[in-house]
């Protein structure tokens, strides 16, 4: 075999070996998947640091939850010479768009010329101490009297005002930029209740939703509007017995007329609606 032929055979053999080696798959280099960035768990909007939510109604169902609410019925003036009959009709209280609607109407019903609704948790739910709050858009107009308030469970045995009353929010229509927080007890009730007012600059309270709350402890009650404290009360501040050491239940209502707000006039537009987004009760974490 000639020298040149040997060289040619060597070259061809080397090329074949290189092709064979190239046909083998190169070992795959693993791709590193980056660890996902931990995402914080969304905090439910009803959570509050330092508080446990013990009861709430978000009004998300199709109807008013009768495990949470009862109705006061009647048109007897309710001790304030009010001009409405309270009913449990859907015309006066219902759920719409995830909110409780309490509607005051101008219509003859029973012995009054107006109707409305007053809901309460009496006999179903009551609490002693905690943070009680609601997000509400109040109605407006002369003679319209919306309220978010509480009464002592003992009212069935000792009557008012010995039972105690905590008004978390009241408004009277002739004061569209003012809400009131008050307590009533033995020796300081009615026009002598102890409280304070919160003025809203720029627009009436009826223009938007606001959160109204109290934080109630054994020796102090504090009032808040949109998270801002505006009044506090201790036993030393009342000229009578401190009766806020028992369970209280919640009420929501829109009255029409009465000795304090006065009565509707030609400027008052009906119907008027109070919209309640939620009611929540918290107690401190132990």
Task: Give catalytic residue positions.
Answer: 165, 170
- One DSSP character per residue, 145-175 reads EEEEEEEETTHHHH-TTTT-EEEEEE--TT-
Q: Other C-beta atoms within 10 Å of 7: how many?
A: 10
Query: In whole angstroms, how large is the CA radius of gyration of the chain?
Result: 34
The answer to whether the beta carbons of residues 56 and 279 sit under 8 Å apart is: yes
Beta carbons within 8 Å of 283's beta carbon, 6+ residues apart: 51, 52, 54, 127, 129, 130, 131
Q: Other C-beta atoms within 10 Å of 89: how many?
A: 14
Pairing mode of beta strands 272-284, 130-137 = antiparallel
- Per-residue exposure over 258-267, b if at least 16 CB sit within 10 Å of its own CB, e if not: bebbebbeee
Distance CA(118)–CA(147), nearest Å, equals 9
């Amino acid at each position: 075999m000639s020298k040149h032929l040997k060289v040619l055979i060597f070259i061809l053999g080397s090329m074949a070996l290189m092709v064979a080696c190239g046909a083998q798959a190169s070992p795959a280099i693993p791709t590193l998947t980056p660890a996902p960035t931990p995402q914080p768990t969304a905090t439910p909007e009803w959570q509050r640091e330092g508080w446990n939510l013990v009861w709430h109604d978000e009004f998300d169902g199709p109807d008013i939850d009768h495990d949470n609410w009862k109705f006061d019925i009647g048109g007897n003036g309710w001790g304030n010479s009010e001009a409405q009959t309270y009913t449990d009709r859907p015309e006066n209280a219902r759920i719409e768009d995830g909110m409780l609607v309490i509607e005051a109407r101008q219509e003859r019903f029973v012995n009054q010329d107006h109707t409305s609704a007053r809901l309460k948790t009496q006999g179903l739910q009551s609490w002693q101490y905690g943070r009680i709050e609601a997000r509400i858009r109040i109605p407006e107009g002369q003679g319209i009297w919306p309220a978010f308030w509480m009464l002592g469970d003992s009212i069935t045995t000792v009557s008012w005002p010995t039972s105690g009353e905590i008004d978390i929010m009241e408004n009277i229509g002739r004061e569209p930029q003012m809400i009131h927080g008050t307590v009533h007890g033995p020796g300081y009730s009615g026009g002598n209740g102890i409280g304070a007012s919160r003025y809203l600059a720029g627009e009436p309270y009826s223009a938007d939703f606001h959160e109204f709350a109290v934080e109630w402890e054994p020796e102090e009650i504090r009032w808040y509007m949109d998270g801002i404290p505006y009044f506090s009360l201790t036993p030393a501040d009342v000229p009578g017995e401190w009766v806020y050491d028992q369970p209280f239940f919640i009420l929501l209502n829109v009255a029409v007329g009465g000795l304090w707000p006065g009565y509707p006039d030609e400027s008052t537009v009906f119907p008027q609606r109070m919209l309640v987004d939620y009611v929540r009760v918290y107690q401190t974490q132990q």
